Amino acid sequence: MIRWLHDSEKPVYTIHIAAELLGCHPRTLRIYDQAGLVSPQRTVKRYRLYSQSDLTRIKRICSLMDEWSLNLSGVKALFNMADRFEIEIERLLDEMLG
């Protein structure tokens, strides 16, 4: 049995519902998945299921592309940098507190 940390991480939206909620085409969500920008859960039959956290991340992706004129590679690089900064900050806090 899988336990979700938060309800926002529970995969509940099919690709068509997620696309409708986000105001985009399902193909857009497939492209983000193929680019590695979002990783929706999969059913046994390989259908994508999106969580509220996934939708929030996709909104952030769309915002970066629209407002900052970034392409998929730019968004991916920015997310990778943010992940590295988060890891480094956690390391520094551990050093300071530990």
Whether 1 has a pLDDT exceeding 50, the answer reads no
- What pLDDT score was predicted for residue 31? 97
Residue 2 has pLDDT above 80, yes or no: no
2 in a structural domain: no
Please give the pLDDT value at position 62: 96
pLDDT reported for residue 52: 95
CATH of the domain at 28: 1.10.1660.10
Say yes or no to pLDDT of 84 above 80.
yes
CA separation, residue 87 to residues 34, 72, 82, 92, 97 (Å): 25, 23, 9, 9, 15
CB environment 3-41: b (16+ within 10 A), e (fewer): eeeeeeebbebbbeebbeebebebebbeebbeeebbebb
Q: Which domain holds residue 21?
A: 10-97
Residue 45 lies in a domain: yes
Has residue 75 been placed in a domain? yes
What's the mean per-residue pLDDT of the chain? 92
89 is a domain residue: yes
Mean pLDDT confidence for 34-51: 95
Q: Domain count of the chain?
A: 1
- 52 within domain boundaries: yes
